[in-house]
Structure 1
Amino acid sequence: MHQAVPEPERPEAEREVASAVRPHREPPAAIPLRRAVLSAVAPLILALIIGVGFMAAYVAALHDPRPKDVPVGVVRGDRAAEELLAAVRTQGRQLKAVGYDDRAAADRALNRRDVYAVLSGPSGTPTLTLTTAGAAAPLATEVITRILTVASQRAQVPLAVTDAVPVVADDPRGVVPFYLATGLVIGGYFGGIALSLTLGTVPRTPARAAMRIGGLALHAVLLSAAGVLVVGPGLDIWHRHLLSLFGAGALLAFAAALFAAAVQSWLARLGTALIILLLVVLGNPGSGGIYPPEFLPDFFRGIHLWDIPGLGSDLIRSVIYFPPDAGRWPAIKLGIWCVAGMIVLVTASVVLGRPRPRSRAARSGGGAGAP
C-alpha cells in the first residue's frame, strides 16, 4: 500500500486568498430553521431601511427644486442694477443681491463661483448688462436670466446677457462633473470596503495601517487616471486642465476610500450601512446632481457644503472651468476628510488591532495538541 503524501502547508497569505475566493455555502441543516430565520432578519431590516431612505432622500431633495437666494453680484451704488434686483426681491426670494465695492471685485467673485452672475447698470448706454457663469450651474444661470429678463421688460430697461464661462458643447446641461464625481466616490469607497473584506477591517499594526493607506492612495490614483481618460481622450468632452482634473479626482476618490476604511475599522459590517447612508442615500441627493445647492431644501443644502459627493462635484467643476482659487475650499474640505480618515484608521489599529490576551490554558501549554 502506498502512503498518502501529506500536502505541504501553504503560506498564510495564500491560505487567506484561497479562503476568500472559496464559495461559502449556507449553514448545515443541523442549524434550526428558526435560528437561521432570526439571523437573516437584521440584515433584511437594515437593507429595507437603506432602500426606503434612498427613495425618501432623493424624492425629498429633488422632486420640486425651487431657487432660493441664488446669489447675483452687483456693484454698490449702481442704482439701476440695485433697483432691478430689489424689485425682483419683492416678488420672492429666488434671487439675492450680493454687493461688491467695484466691478473688479464682482468679477473675481464670479470666477470664484461665489455668485452665478453679475448685474451692472448703464455705462454710457441705457442698457443693463448681465454677465453669467453658465459652467458654475447652467440651471442657476438660466433661472437668473429668465427672472431678470422679465423684470427688465416690466421696468422697460434693455438687458444684454453675456455668458463669460460657458459649458463645453459636449456637456450642454453640465452633468459630467456630477457623474464623474459619483463614479469616483463609488469606486473609492468600494476600494476601501474591498480591502476590509479581504484583509480584515482592522489592521493589526500601525505599520499595516500605513500600508493599507498607501494601497488606497494607489487605488485612488488609478481610478482618477481612468476617469480622466474617459472624459478626455475617450469621449472627447474636456480638453483642458486634465492634469488638474486628475489631481482633483484622486483627492476625491482617496477621501471616499479612507472614509469607508475608517468607518469599517470601528463598526465592521455595520459600517457598510453607514457608508452607504452618508455617501449614497444622503450624499448623492445632497450633491444636487444638475441642481446647485440653492435649489435644494435647507437640510440637503447643508449636506452639500460638507459631504464628500457634493464637495467632489464642486471641485471638479471648479478645476475644469474656473481659476485655481475657485476650487480652494472644496479641496481643503476633502483634505480634512482624508486626514480624519487616516487618523481614525490608525487609531483603530492601535486600539483594536492588538492581539487578544491568550487564555490561561493556552499560556500554560495545557490541552491535548497544544503547540
Structure 2
Amino acid sequence: MSTSVGHGRHEVPEEAAPPQGIWAEFKDAVALRTVALIVGVLLLQLGFVLSYVGAFHAPTPKNIPLAVVSSSAQASDQVAAQLNVITGTPLRATVVTDRETAERQIRNGELSAALLVDPQGTADTLLTSSGGGVSVSGAVTSVIDQVEAAQKRTVTVTDIVPLQGGDGRGLTGFYLVIGWLVGGYLVASLLGVAAGARPATPRRAWFRLIAIVPYAIVSGLGGALIVDQVLGALTGHFMSLWWLGALLVASAAAATMAFQVLFGVIGIGITVLVFVVLGNPSAGGAYQTTLLPPFWRALSNALPNGAGTDAVRRIVYLGSNGITGHLVVIAIYAVAGAAVAIAGSHLIQRRSLRADGTQALA
C-alpha cells in the first residue's frame, strides 16, 4: 500500500503590487483634505502675525476726549481750538465750565483727561485717568507736554483715577477676559471633538448647551477669585466680575458650538480667527481703542474680547458707567450662538433623515 504525496506541486506566489512613484506615494500618505487643513492653519498663522503686528506696530492717538477748563472763557475756547487742529487730530477737546465737572466726567469714563489752564500764569494742570487706560493716559500726557513746551508753559500731571496696586500696567482685566474666553471656546471644542463636531440630534445640541452653563458659572467664579481674593489684582468688585466672566465664557462657548454645527471641525479654526486673530489685538488691552488703527478700532466693541475688556475696566475703575452696551454685545453672542447651534442641528437631522429615506428607496 503506497501513499502518493504531491511533491511536484508548488504554490504560485501572489503577484507583487507594482511600485508606486514618489508623487503617488505622497498623495496616498497625505490626503487632499489634510492638505486643505494645513493650508488653513498656515493662513491662520499668517493672519495672527498680520493682525497683531498691524494693530500694535505704530500706536497713534486719535480723537481722545479731553476737556479744557479755565476761569477765562476766552482762554478755554482758544486752547481747545488749538488742540483740535493738531496734525492727525490726536485729541478731541471740548470746553468744560469747572474742574468738578471735568473730574466727574473723567471718573465716569466720558473723558480721558482734562487740561486746567491758568490764564494768569504759565503753569497748567493735566488731570488723567490711568485706570481708564494707561496707554491713553500716556498718549495724552505726551501730546500736552509737547504743546505746552512749544508755548513755553509747564504742566503738572495728576492721576485722579489711579490703578490698583496689583494691576500692573492695567493689563489684569485684559488677561482675565482672554482667560475666560479661551476656556469658553476650548470647552465647546472639547465637546465637539469628543462626540462629533456636529451634534447628531437637536437633543444632543441642547445637552451640550446645558453642560456649558455650570462650566461658565464655575469659570467666572474661578477667575474672579483669582484676581480678587488670591492675587489682590482687582479688588472690590467680586460679584460683578464673577457674572461678567460667566457671560463671557457662555458667549465664547455658544459661538464656538454654532461655528462647529455650521462648518464641522473647520468651525474651530473660525473660532480661533474670531476670538484670537481678530479679537485679542482689537480688545484694547495693551493699547486702548483710541490708539489702534481704524480696522481694529471698529472691531473692538463688536467682539466679546473688546466688550469684555472695557467692561472690566469700567466696573473696576469707572463706577460701572457705560457697560450696558458691552453686556448686550456679549449676550448677543451667547444667545445667537445657542440659537444657531439648535437650528443647525435640526437642519442636520432633517438632511440625515432624507438621506436615509433616499437610500432605503434605492
TM-score tier, shorter chain, comes to 0.7 to 0.9
Deviation for aligned residue 1:361: 7.0
Using the alignment, how far apart are the partners of 1:43 and 1:120 within structure 2?
Answer: 58
Using the alignment, how far apart are the partners of 1:143 and 1:343 within structure 2?
Answer: 42
Partner SS state of residue 286, structure 1: coil
Using the alignment, how far apart are the partners of 1:194 and 1:78 within structure 2?
Answer: 62
8 Å CA contact 2:303, 2:329 repeated in 1 = no
Deviation for aligned residue 1:192: 1.3
1:327 corresponds to: 323
Which runs of 5 or more residues in structure 2 are unaligned? Answer: 1-23
How do 1:85-164 and structure 2 match up within 5 A? 85-92=80-87, 93-99=89-95, 106-122=102-118, 128-157=124-153, 159-164=155-160
1:46 corresponds to: 40
Match of 2:27 among 1, 24, 34: 34
C-alpha distance 41-206 of structure 1, shift in aligned 2 (>3 A): closer
Q: TM-score normalised to the size of structure 2?
A: 0.83
Partner SS state of residue 115, structure 2: strand
How do 1:249-288 and structure 2 match up within 5 A? 249-288=245-284
Could you tell which deviates more after superposition, 200-209 or 319-328? 200-209
How do 1:1-371 and structure 2 match up within 5 A? 33-39=26-32, 40-74=34-68, 78-92=73-87, 93-99=89-95, 106-122=102-118, 128-157=124-153, 159-354=155-350, 355-357=352-354, 358-359=356-357, 362=360
8 Å CA contact 2:96, 2:102 repeated in 1 = yes
Could you tell which deviates more after superposition, 36-45 or 134-143? 36-45
8 Å CA contact 2:172, 2:234 repeated in 1 = no
Matched positions, count: 334
| Structure 1 residues 274-295: Cα deviation after superposition (integer angstroms, max 9, x where no partner) | 1111111111111143101111
Partner SS state of residue 287, structure 1: coil
User: Which amino acid in structure 2 is aligned with residue 114 of structure 1?
Assistant: E
User: Which amino acid in structure 1 is aligned with residue 322 of structure 2?
Assistant: A
Deviation for aligned residue 1:98: 3.9
User: Which amino acid in structure 2 is aligned with residue 59 of structure 1?
Assistant: V
| Structure 1 residues 163-184: Cα deviation after superposition (integer angstroms, max 9, x where no partner) | 2211112223111111111111
Using the alignment, how far apart are the partners of 1:162 and 1:66 within structure 2?
Answer: 23
| Structure 1 residues 143-199: Cα deviation after superposition (integer angstroms, max 9, x where no partner) | 212322342344355544322211112223111111111111111111111112223
User: Which amino acid in structure 1 is aligned with residue 42 of structure 2?
Assistant: L
| Structure 1 residues 111-142: Cα deviation after superposition (integer angstroms, max 9, x where no partner) | 34232112344599986443222111112112
User: Which amino acid in structure 1 is aligned with residue 64 of structure 2?
Assistant: V
User: Which amino acid in structure 1 is aligned with residue 37 of structure 2?
Assistant: P
Could you tell which deviates more after superposition, 346-355 or 63-72? 346-355
8 Å CA contact 1:228, 1:242 repeated in 2 = yes
Using the alignment, how far apart are the partners of 2:231 and 2:99 within structure 1?
Answer: 38
Using the alignment, how far apart are the partners of 2:315 and 2:97 within structure 1?
Answer: 27
| Structure 1 residues 9-44: Cα deviation after superposition (integer angstroms, max 9, x where no partner) | xxxxxxxxxxxxxxxxxxxxxx96523323321111
Using the alignment, how far apart are the partners of 1:103 and 1:162 within structure 2?
Answer: 13
8 Å CA contact 2:227, 2:233 repeated in 1 = yes
Which runs of 5 or more residues in structure 1 are unaligned? Answer: 1-30, 365-371
Partner SS state of residue 232, structure 2: coil
Deviation for aligned residue 1:226: 1.6
User: Which amino acid in structure 2 is aligned with residue 279 of structure 1?
Assistant: F
C-alpha distance 359-338 of structure 1, shift in aligned 2 (>3 A): closer
Partner SS state of residue 66, structure 2: strand
C-alpha distance 160-343 of structure 1, shift in aligned 2 (>3 A): same
Using the alignment, how far apart are the partners of 1:361 and 1:139 within structure 2?
Answer: 63
User: Which amino acid in structure 2 is aligned with residue 34 of structure 1?
Assistant: K
8 Å CA contact 1:73, 1:115 repeated in 2 = yes
Structure of higher CA gyration radius: 2
| Structure 1 residues 255-311: Cα deviation after superposition (integer angstroms, max 9, x where no partner) | 111111111111111211111111111111111431011111111111112122111
Deviation for aligned residue 1:107: 4.3
Using the alignment, how far apart are the partners of 2:123 and 2:244 within structure 1?
Answer: 40
